[in-house]
Structure 1
Amino acid sequence: MTTAASTKETTGVGPLLRGWRERRKVSQLELALRADSSARHISFIETGRSRPSEEIVLRLADHLDVPMRDRNALLVAAGYAPRFRETPLDDPSMGALREGLEQLLRGYEPYPALIVDATYNVIAANRGIAMIIDGIPEHLLQPPLNAMRLTLHPEGLAPKIRNLREWRGHLLDQMDRQIALQRSAALRAVYEEVAAYPVADPGADTFDAGGEPGGMPYFALPLRIEHDGHLLSFTSSISTFNTPMDVTVAELAIETLLPADPATVKYLQSSVS
């Protein structure tokens, strides 16, 4: 029989904080020193012997690098109201943000750029992205359009990616690190789906880290993708908002595909209009 007390022991703020502390591999003493508290106080909070103040919950969450969405969950578990709003992007109050993001995407053209949420669903993209995904089957372009699914699906971009095994490994590692940090069941579901896709083994599915055939060294792992008979090379750059105050904004990421060689620059400048 599950009692109210036993439920609280597994779902209250104490166990949640302990879970984040253990996930970050931080001892009670180390966390106490970081948060200007004591190991005894941390222990009392984790075991439910002490109810933490709203301030200490937020302070501990900050030092444990807890995602904003989960900081709200910690506050609710401790008996407080959520601190951070989660405003839909189509809300009138987000008008300035939407306009700024659209201008940013246009500013990156002709280079491909897109905005994704915490599970890699595409929020917006520019004409550079539209060029790359031209010809993708319609069923993969139905909303919600997911960047990971679109990239790694056997009917998506995967057959066009010359170094698919390396790029796939990079994307799966990236998601795996995020899952470890965020404990996101939704992202885990996306990971398990795309990781299960079959991987073709074409002769060109290899990558020489020393550089491209012409001898130019790469400064980061490139995405090498065929488009209309041309081999394009990109490196990926991801940006997030500094000190966000809204859950929606905190979970947005802007990814830009920057040309990794002069030939790609020239091709994009002549093709994206």
Structure 2
Amino acid sequence: MTLPLLLRHTRTSSKMSQLELALRLEVSQRHVSFVETGRAAASREMLLAWMEAVDAPASIRNAALTMAGFTTVAAETASAWTAGPDATEPALQRMIQLHNPLPGIVFDPDWRALAVNRSGKWLCSMVMPAYCEVIDNVFEGMDMIHCLSHEDGLLSRARNATQVGAALLLQLQTESWIRPALCPRVERLAESLQRRYGKLPVPSGVLGIAAPSAEMCFDTPHGELNFSTFQSAFGMPHDINSSSLRIELWFPSDDRTRHVMNRGRAVVQSLD
């Protein structure tokens, strides 16, 4: 695809006329037409304004810049252009449903749960039953940072609570550098962890930044359950930034946990 065709495609996909786009770009309709037919070249500033006007994701914007011979821009600068409903949410919700009978959760950059699958809800009832009552068993919208700091929350029955708490605190502190709105909640989490566990261990990680994975060990009515958890974002690489939705998937880290989760399939399905 050539640059003129790409630009025309972004405009028509946005259901925008040449005139409407020209008014937004403060140029003539004729100039927009010339750019779309290749008779005129767009400047870097015009390309960026064009991409903003059509609400193009970072991957499309950078493709246009590359075709024109300009340097690309980091995905973070496009976050305001993709601030509408996240198109990846349905895919993420589908992913965690397919992950049953293992736990999965979709959450936003403010660490609020958007969706928890059946297995995730069942596991929550096993590892933090009192906190489930606090939130009336409504997991959509759950404040995940509050869940970590609450004495009856996720860490209440964790055998390795200090290690997990320290790793997640470090991750959240790192994220708060570029998302300052997290700071008050992260500070409350730090105070809660210090009050409950004293001095926390220093997590291992590159340059002191914790990896988006953890080993979780719980005491439950079904005995000890052990999981490896992994966080990730979903989408085209150039479109992922600090405003992207995330998914966290839990996997059994031993045969006994795998057996318990598989055996609990019928219980999990009954939650529908």
TM-score range, shorter chain: 0.5 to 0.7
Q: CA deviation at 1:187?
A: 1.7
Q: Does 1:271 align with 2:271?
A: no
Q: Is the 8 A contact 1:87 1:248 kept in 2?
A: no
| 3-state SS of paired residue (1:133) | helix
* Superposed CA RMSD: 3.6
Query: Do the aligned partners of 2:158 and 2:218 also contact (CA within 8 Å) in 1?
Result: yes
Give the Å deviation of 1:230.
Answer: 1.2
Supply the distance in 1 between the matched residues of 2:185 and 2:71 (Cα, whole angstroms).
26
Q: Choose from 114, 122, 127 the match for 1:123.
A: 114
Secondary structure in 2 aligned to 1:222? strand
Aligned-partner Cα distance in 2 for 1:61–1:263: 52
Normalised to the residue count of structure 2, the TM-score between the two structures is: 0.57
Determine whether 1:111 maps to 2:121: no
The correspondence for 1:252, drawn from 237, 241, 245, is 245
- Indicate the residue corresponding to 1:169 in structure 2: 166
Q: Deviations over 1:42-80 (max 9, x none)?
A: xxxxxxxxxx936689889965663643xx3xxxxxxxx
| Percent of matched pairs sharing the same residue | 18
Residues 260/85 of structure 1: CA separation in 2 closer, same or farther (3 Å cut): same
One-letter identity of the residue aligned with 2:224: L
Aligned partner of 1:4 in structure 2 is none
Q: Does 1:152 align with 2:162?
A: no
1:179–1:187 CA contact under 8 A, matched in 2: yes
Separation in structure 2 between the aligned mates of residue 188 and residue 249 of structure 1, nearest angstrom: 15
Q: 1:178 to 1:68 in 2, by over 3 A?
A: farther
Contact kept, 8 Å, 1:122 with 1:145, in 2: the verdict is yes
Could you give the per-residue CA deviations for residues 101-132 of structure 1, whole angstroms, max 9, x where no partner exists? Answer: 33211111111110000011000011121112
* Residue 196 (1) aligns with residue 191 (2): yes
- What one-letter code is carried by the residue in structure 1 that aligns with 2:220? H
Using the alignment, how far apart are the partners of 1:128 and 1:103 within structure 2?
14
Q: Is the 8 A contact 1:140 1:150 kept in 2?
A: no
**Is 1:87 matched up with 2:60?**
no
Equivalent residue for 1:102, pick from 84, 88, 93 = 93
Tell me the number of residue pairs that the alignment of Structure 1 and Structure 2 aligns. 187
Once structures 1 and 2 are overlaid, which stretch shifts more, 111-120 or 232-241?
232-241
User: Are 2:179 and 1:184 equivalent residues in the alignment?
Assistant: yes
Secondary structure at 1:110 match in 2: coil
TM-fit CA distance, 1:98: 4.7
Q: Which residue number in structure 2 is paired with residue 240 of structure 1? A: 233
Where structure 1 has 5 or more consecutive residues not aligned to the other structure, the ranges are 1-51, 73-83, 210-219
**TM-aligned CA distance change 1:133 to 1:61, over 3 Å:** farther
Q: What is the rounded CA distance, in whole Å, between the counterparts of 2:142 and 2:71 in structure 1?
A: 32
Shift of the 147–272 alpha-carbon distance from structure 1 to 2, 3 Å rule, reads farther
* CA 62–257 in structure 1, closer or farther in 2 if over 3 Å, else same: farther
